[in-house]
Structures are given as structure tokens and as C-alpha cells.
Amino acid sequence: MKKLFMLSTLACVAMGVQAQSSVTLFGVVDNAVQNVRGAGNGHVTRLVQGANASSRLGFRGTEDLGGGMSASFWIEAGVNTDSGAGAATNTNNQASGVSPAAGGGGLTFNRRSTVSLAGNWGELRLGRDFAPSYLTLSAADPFGNVGVGSNFNLLGALGTSKGAQTGVRVSNSVGYLLPSNLGGIYGNVMYALGENASNAPGGTSSDGRHFGARIGWRAGAFDISGAHGRTTLAAGDYVQTDVAGSYDFGFVKLMAGVYREEVRAAAKGRADSWSVGATAPVGAGLLRASYTSTNQNAEAGNNDAAMIALGYVHNLSKRTAIYTTISLIDNKGASVLYNQGRAVASPGGNATGLDIGLRHAF
């Protein structure tokens, strides 16, 4: 999605050292007109960022240390490019750590903030990064987990409703990633700290601690992975377990996944979900479609739903596209939990969303 730019060091003067001394500045500006509607609750038309690819500004670079070793950094900030505001991060993987506290405003490197040491043994990575479980959760979504068609509208709803902070990214993490030379096998493990004191009250000393692992296999047109993540919380651990895969036939790419989301409180809430999706190139464009279904157990509240999403991306270049997406969420039973941004007020009511936008990467 991102075309990269080298900021050349002493360009033209010292070409020989260029490779080992570069910083890449990159980003996306993606704004869309969006209409979201929740049954019994009217609708909102708004300008949003990132309905095709999240708007961002980032800086990254790699240094060759010799002997197959390298060091690298990556800091990447979400930008609400509809208004210029920044996006919030989280400092301790708990609800108390949302920063800025008011829920956004100033720029933070919320999307990624890491330093790494890598070799043929793999990569050690420290900082804020994707939860391994999220990498699999999002792998089978033709809409890239953004915009009105994102299957995160359904797959992340249980955790979001319980205030979980680690469904997508995790701070204070120490991660290890497999090297890229394992015949298509890839994977990573992450351990992240909640940073509570050992004598924290009410058994909360481990709150915000996160462990995640992911393993996958990629071979030609085929790709599959499974992942698991657990965030320790005295009020009930938050657990995700996902398997997702895809096969690219060329004229169409098919993808599917199954997902389990759990809150292990006294009442062990659980949501079991699955999704299927497809993308198909059509000239300079790309058709996208998905169907997602989620079913909660009684402890979670029996909030079931299904979502269908359709979209088209018209590429003006590799970096620039215009696009549109529509989606319909069917809340089952008395559920009002699921929507694209406008809450549903009528029990069992539908929610709809429409995006029309312009995305430019740099």
C-alpha cells in the first residue's frame, strides 16, 4: 500500500554508504465521505480517514551491522486526516493507559514504535507492535480491516465492548520473529508488560500482560496461519484464537477464517465467528466482497450477527486509488451490538455503511 522513499544521506557525495544510512519517510492520506446508519437511531454523514488504508505518517530505517546482522527502527503515527488530529495509543495495555487520556488529539506513534536487532536467527523487536493474533485475524479480510466493510466490526466487538485494549496492537512488548529463510514458514511470539507493581491491589499486578504467538506457512498462491493471544486482566483475561488462510487463483483470490474471542470473567463470554472473502482484479480495478458471521454464547449476551460487504477499488496508480464500499450488518435476536459507527437502537435492527473515498500513499 505504501510506496517508499529513501532520504538519501549525502546524496551524490558518498554513494557508497547510501545503503547503510537511510531513513524512509512514508505515509498514507486517505479521506472518504462515509454514511453510517443504525436502525432506530438515524444516520450520520461524515468525512473519515482511512476507509481504504489507514492514514499515517511514518519514519523507518535499517542499518547493516555486517555479518548478516542489522538494526532497524520503525515509528508510525496514525493521523485523522479528516481533521488533522492524531490518534491515541495506550501506555500499559489497560483501559487506564489510553493516551492522550481524552481519546485522541495530539500525534502519537500509535501504529508502531519499535527498535530491532536481526540476523539469520530471526529478529528481536522491542516496543509497540501488532498483537500476533491480530495479524491472523486480519489476514482473511478483503477490506484490510478498515472502512465500513471491515470484519473487525464483528470480530472485535466482544473485546471492544469489554474495554480490551490489545485487540490490535500491544505496547511494552518484547517480540521474536522467525527469519524469512524457513521455506515459507513464518511466525512470531510476543511477551508484553502491563507495568503494574508486584504489590498492586486486588490481584491486578499482572493486568495488561500479554502473550501472543503466531505460526504460518506461505507457498506460492497459498497462505495460512494460526495465532493465539491472551491479555491478563483481573476482571477476566481477554483471549483471541484465530486461523485464517487464502488462495490466489489469479482471476480471484479467496480467503476464509475462523475466530474465537473470549473474556474469561466469572461469566465466560465467548464469540465464535467465521468469514469468507474474495478479491478479483478487473482491469485497473479490484472487486472485493466478504461475508462474516459471529455467534456469542449466553454468558456474552447472545449477541449474534452477520455482515455482508461489497466494494470496488479503482487504481489510478500503484499509490493512488478511488474506492467505494457498502456493507450491511444484520443484528440477530435482540442484539444491538454491531454497527459500522452508528449505534443500533432497535433490538435486532440492521446497520448499514457506505464509503466513497480517495487514497494516496507516499
Phi, psi of 135 (to 5 degrees): -60, -35
Does 15 contact a copy of itself by CB under 8 A?
yes
Among 53, 122, 123, 128, binds a copy of itself (CB under 8 A): 128
Binding mask 169-208 for a copy of itself (x = CB under 8 A): --xxxx-----------------xx-xxxxxx----x---
C-alpha cell at 27: 505515509
Does 120 contact a copy of itself by CB under 8 A?
no
**Residues 298-337 contacting a copy of itself, CB under 8 A:** 316-317, 319-320, 322
Taking CA atoms, 23 is separated from 68, 69, 127, 353, in Å, by: 20, 18, 19, 39
C-alpha cell at 147: 472502512
Phi, psi of 157 (to 5 degrees): -70, -35
Residue written as cell 524512509? Answer: 24
Does 106 contact a copy of itself by CB under 8 A?
yes
Does 221 contact a copy of itself by CB under 8 A?
no
Span from 76-84, 255-263, 287-295, 347-355 in contact with a copy of itself (CB under 8 A): 76-84
Q: Measured from the CB of residue 271, what is the shortest distance to a copy of itself in angstroms? A: 27
Does 47 contact a copy of itself by CB under 8 A?
yes
Does 9 contact a copy of itself by CB under 8 A?
yes
SS3 call for 32:
strand
Q: Measured from the CB of residue 350, what is the shortest distance to a copy of itself in angstroms? A: 16
Single out the residue of 138, 151, 134, 152 nearest to residue 309, CA to CA: 151
Does 107 contact a copy of itself by CB under 8 A?
yes
Span from 27-35, 219-227, 254-262, 271-279 in contact with a copy of itself (CB under 8 A): 27-35
Nearer to a copy of itself, 33 or 334 (CB): 33
SS3 call for 157:
helix
Does 21 contact a copy of itself by CB under 8 A?
yes
Residues 321 and 360: their CA atoms lie apart, in Å, by 7
Number of residues forming the site for a copy of itself (CB under 8 A):
99
Does 45 contact a copy of itself by CB under 8 A?
yes
Residues 259 and 362: their CA atoms lie apart, in Å, by 33
Contacts of 96 (CB under 8 A, 6+ apart): none
Among 1, 51, 105, 301, binds a copy of itself (CB under 8 A): 105
Does 10 contact a copy of itself by CB under 8 A?
yes
Does 342 contact a copy of itself by CB under 8 A?
yes
Q: Looking at residue 64, what DSSP letter applies?
A: E
Positive or negative torsion for Cα 149, 154, 155, 159: positive
- Name beta bridge partners: 308: 291, 328
Residues 50 and 48: their CA atoms lie apart, in Å, by 7
Residues 14 and 11: their CA atoms lie apart, in Å, by 6
C-alpha cell at 64: 547493516
Does 113 contact a copy of itself by CB under 8 A?
yes
Does 12 contact a copy of itself by CB under 8 A?
yes
Among 82, 248, 299, 330, binds a copy of itself (CB under 8 A): 82
Single out the residue of 78, 261, 275, 274 nearest to residue 169, CA to CA: 78
Among 51, 53, 86, 132, binds a copy of itself (CB under 8 A): 86
Q: Measured from the CB of residue 118, what is the shortest distance to a copy of itself in angstroms? A: 11
What stretch of H or E contains 62? strand 56-66
Q: Measured from the CB of residue 315, what is the shortest distance to a copy of itself in angstroms? A: 10
Q: Measured from the CB of residue 171, what is the shortest distance to a copy of itself in angstroms? A: 4
Q: Measured from the CB of residue 275, what is the shortest distance to a copy of itself in angstroms? A: 29
